[in-house]
């Protein structure tokens, strides 16, 4: 299976950590974000959104990171990341929907506006957008903090797809101007997940590699 990815993309990282944990060897084809690889007609034919991750498995093409994670997990019978029990699966999907719609929507908006735009694109952040996202992030971080009380992982007693999804933008967590001090359980959870060998083993080698094809000058 081929995975089109960009180095440093949290949405790719969650898929790559999932594949690593499942023992699936993906043929990862990195795209150069800065050279406009995602807007080339060949790539848009695979994913009209011009986004990564995008998976190609024979004549089946799939985009949306959480869907890709579920698809990969379903290829490995008996895996603990996405078990067959309907309630456990629904619980995992619930948290994947939640991270996409709420928690990481807020975190990602702040990361884009207040970090990427400023540091990479040398532009001013849209402050009202940042303010709104900060308010949302406080609200949803409190939900995660409450849920993690007495738990190490969001569903059951071990890592599931939900955890790789929730932490996908962890690289920006401490870079954004958000006060995390009121969320000790959430902070401990992120640190626990960062230590997972499959997460750590699929992280970008260096900040300089982000967005570029590995090996490119
Ligand atoms: N909801 C999509 C989001 C995909 C997405 O936005 N990917 C980013 C990288 S993390 C991307 O390709 N950005 C390119 C762009 O915005 O031009 C998913 O979960 O796969």
Ligand 1 centroid to residue 51 C-alpha, Å: 5
Q: What is the CATH number of the domain that holds 179?
A: 1.20.1050.10
Range of the domain at 72: 2-79+201-209
Verify that 69 and 104 share a domain, yes or no: no
φ, ψ of residue 76 in degrees (nearest 5): -120, 95
Q: How far is the CA of 63 from the centre of ligand 1 (A)?
A: 10
Clarify whether residues 125 and 173 are in a common domain.
Answer: yes
CB 26 within 8 A of CB 74: no
Please report the pLDDT score of residue 213 as a whole number: 86
What domain count does the chain have?
A: 2
Could you tell me the pTM of the whole model?
0.96
What's the CA gap between 111 and 118, in Å, rounded?
Answer: 10
Please tell me whether residues 179 and 134 are part of one structural domain. yes
Portion of the chain with pLDDT greater than 90, in percent? 91
CA of 32 to the centre of ligand 1 (A): 13
- The CATH number given to whatever domain includes residue 25 is 3.40.30.10
Residues 64 and 142 both lie in one domain: no
Ligand 1 binding pocket includes 70 (Cβ within 6 Å): no
CB 125 within 8 A of CB 117: yes
Read off the pLDDT of residues 58-111 as tens digits, 9 standing for 90 and up: 999 999 999 999 999 999 999 999 999 999 999 999 999 999 999 999 999 999
Do residues 94 and 81 make contact, with C-beta atoms less than 8 angstroms apart?
no
pLDDT of residue 210: 84
């Amino acid at each position: 299976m081929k995975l089109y990815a960009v180095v440093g993309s949290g949405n790719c990282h969650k898929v790559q950590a999932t594949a690593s944990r499942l023992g699936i060897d993906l043929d990862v084809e990195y795209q150069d974000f800065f050279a406009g690889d995602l807007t080339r007609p060949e790539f848009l034919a695979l994913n009209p959104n011009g986004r990564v991750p995008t998976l190609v498995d024979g004549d089946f093409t799939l985009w949306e990171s959480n869907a890709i994670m579920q698809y990969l997990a379903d290829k490995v019978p008996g895996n603990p990341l996405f078990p067959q029990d309907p309630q456990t699966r629904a619980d995992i999907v619930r948290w994947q929907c939640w991270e996409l719609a709420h928690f990481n929507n807020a975190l990602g908006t702040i990361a884009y506006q207040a970090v990427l735009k400023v540091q990479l694109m040398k532009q001013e952040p849209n402050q009202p957008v940042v303010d709104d996202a900060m308010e949302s992030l406080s609200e949803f971080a409190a939900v995660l903090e409450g849920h993690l009380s007495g738990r190490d992982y969001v569903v059951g007693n071990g890592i599931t797809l939900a955890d790789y999804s929730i932490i996908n933008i962890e690289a920006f967590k401490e870079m954004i101007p958000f006060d995390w001090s009121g969320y000790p359980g959430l902070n401990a959870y992120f640190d626990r997940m960062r230590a997972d060998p499959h997460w750590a083993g699929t992280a970008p080698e260096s900040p300089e590699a982000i967005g570029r094809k590995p090996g490119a000058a």
